[in-house]
Amino acid sequence: MAATETLTAERILEATEEVLRRYGPAKATVVDVARVLGVSHGSVYRHFRTKAALREAVTERWLSRTETALAELTAAPDRPAPEKLHAWFAHLFEAKRHKAGDDPELFATYNVLIDENSGVVEQHIGVLIDQVRSIVAEGAREAEFAAPDPDATARALFDATSRFHDPAYAPEWRRPTIETEFEAVVGLLLRGLRA
């Protein structure tokens, strides 16, 4: 049985994802997680001291998958910065849409954290903006972009594309015109960055 394996934080997080997908953030409990693992809820609490801490950790892990995919895109060599920046925002939009549409229970958990002003969400946004800053700085070095202040520019790019990654807009992501609207905004921003 599962209980004979060592109970690691990773195994608890996997089980929590499963439980959240099954019951949603409002109904999922630590007892459900313990049951899936075949352990006592006390064993779970030894790794995560509160339900909120567990919810934070599972969301952090879920968000870090998006961050990792985007980091690879950010680090890709020999790709013009304008093209890279376009691909980066398209990938972020696609990832968020996928999470909202195909993984609604974990998406709902993420929204609970947003409402709780959890540091996890702020940290996620910080990681993302830092990747944008890196692409902007690269483009400025290669004289592809005119961006005297890559930090402020990265923040502005992230803010100006909110409609295409902020979970508050998730209901609009199913509109048939959303792709065209995305291209119009990103196109305008890329023109604004031209050296």
- Residues near a second copy (CB under 8 A): 146, 152-153, 155-157, 159-163, 168-169, 180-181, 184-185, 187-194
If the CB atoms of residues 8 and 162 are measured against a second copy, the closer one turns out to be 162
Return d(Cα 101, Cα 1) in angstroms, integer.
33
If the CB atoms of residues 57 and 112 are measured against a second copy, the closer one turns out to be 112
Coarse DSSP helix, strand, coil percentages of the chain, rounded to the nearest 5 percent: 80, 0, 20
If the CB atoms of residues 5 and 181 are measured against a second copy, the closer one turns out to be 181
Return d(Cα 164, Cα 173) in angstroms, integer.
8
Return d(Cα 159, Cα 164) in angstroms, integer.
10
CB 138 within 8 A of CB 88: no
If the CB atoms of residues 71 and 114 are measured against a second copy, the closer one turns out to be 114
If the CB atoms of residues 50 and 180 are measured against a second copy, the closer one turns out to be 180
Name which of 171, 165, 62, 72 is nearest 120 in CA terms: 62
Smallest separation (angstroms) from a second copy to the CB of 168? 5
Smallest separation (angstroms) from a second copy to the CB of 53? 25
8-19 burial, b at 16+ Cβ within 10 Å, e below that, comes to eeebbbbbbbeb
Name which of 48, 62, 159, 175 is nearest 108 in CA terms: 62
Smallest separation (angstroms) from a second copy to the CB of 176? 14
Smallest separation (angstroms) from a second copy to the CB of 111? 12
Smallest separation (angstroms) from a second copy to the CB of 3? 45
